[in-house]
């Protein structure tokens, strides 16, 4: 039988039943306390009750902190996952208990992020992390009663924009390389390498000499974004870039880190008068050029590492003018 205690304007519900630990929870209104207690008693009577006490005592901020310590270090993108956990833990939603967060709260979170001007992809990544936090809490942290409110708002998630279609036009490549030569360092060679190989920024920065098979003209990428290693065939131009590089004592091919590459590229673009181009657009450019050379989708996917034709399409922007000669 449940009992209720009024304390400082709030109502505390207490449910005791033989064979179960005592359940307590505090509400603003007595009606809410009575409804909660009736639900708990009903589940106990049916033998399907699962304690919510831990989920009710654990705030989202606490769960995010635990996730950053225990789960994120085992993930490939651990650095950004930890940063995302820290950022989300500062949101008002993070002060709520896991058990109290509903689908409507997640929908409100989405609207707030959109109002802040956050892009659809960033919101998608935030929701993916939140969803995994609830999944891990329910399966590995002993909170079996906990549902996943993120899964209830699939239809309200922001739609991703169409893939970018920015490609190099006219003499932009020559201007970029000339500007990069003036800028100095490795950025000019990295630009050429990116256009020749369609490799991602992080993959380029992580390149090591030990992964190069010079005789076979193939570079191994042991760690990729999608988790599948791949071998990239190298063009004559790409080999020329490698042959001109000095050998580093640490075994890395380049001295620049991913963020440094983006910063240098941005400055080179500005100096060259090239607008609206990101370093990642070079991957689009390289992928499109592979098709223009006559490679089929499976061959291109083997080079770029795309697992689906849909994703490959997002990175492919063929110009009608360049396809005329292939028609005969």
Which residues are tagged catalytic? 200, 225, 280, 283, 306, 315
Among 211, 195, 185, 181, smallest CA distance to 271 is for 181
Answer whether 37's CB lies under 8 Å from 22's CB: no
Q: How far apart are CA 175 and CA 111, in angstroms?
A: 42
Q: How far apart are CA 169 and CA 281, in angstroms?
A: 12
Q: How far apart are CA 135 and CA 144, in angstroms?
A: 10
């Amino acid at each position: 039988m449940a009992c209720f205690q009024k304390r400082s304007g709030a109502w505390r519900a207490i449910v005791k039943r033989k064979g179960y630990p005592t359940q307590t929870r505090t509400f603003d209104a007595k009606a809410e306390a009575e409804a909660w207690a009736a639900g708990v008693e009903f589940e106990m009577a049916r033998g399907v009750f699962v304690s919510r006490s831990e989920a009710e005592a654990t705030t989202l901020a606490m769960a995010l902190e635990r996730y950053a310590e225990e789960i994120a270090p085992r993930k490939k993108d651990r650095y950004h996952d930890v940063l995302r956990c820290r950022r989300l833990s500062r949101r008002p939603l993070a002060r709520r208990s896991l058990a109290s967060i509903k689908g409507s709260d997640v929908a409100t979170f989405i609207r707030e992020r959109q109002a802040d001007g956050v892009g659809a992809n960033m919101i998608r990544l935030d929701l993916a992390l939140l969803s995994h936090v609830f999944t891990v809490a329910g399966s590995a942290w002993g909170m079996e009663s906990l549902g996943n409110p993120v899964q209830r708002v699939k239809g309200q998630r922001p739609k991703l924009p169409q893939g970018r279609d920015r490609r190099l036009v006219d003499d932009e490549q020559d201007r970029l390389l000339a500007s990069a030569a003036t800028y100095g360092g490795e950025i000019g060679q990295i630009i050429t390498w990116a256009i020749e190989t369609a490799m991602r920024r992080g993959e380029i920065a992580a390149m090591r000499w030990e992964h190069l098979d010079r005789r076979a003209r193939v570079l191994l990428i042991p760690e990729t974004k999608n988790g599948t290693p791949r071998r990239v065939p190298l063009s004559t131009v790409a080999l020329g870039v490698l042959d001109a590089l000095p050998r580093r004592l640490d075994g890395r091919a380049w001295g620049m880190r991913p963020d440094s590459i983006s910063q240098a590229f941005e400055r080179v673009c500005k100096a060259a008068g090239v607008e609206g181009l990101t370093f990642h657009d070079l991957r689009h450019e390289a992928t499109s050029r592979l098709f223009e050379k006559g490679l089929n989708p499976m061959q291109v996917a083997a080079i770029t590492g795309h697992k689906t034709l849909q994703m490959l399409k997002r990175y492919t922007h063929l110009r009608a003018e360049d396809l005329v000669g292939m028609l005969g």
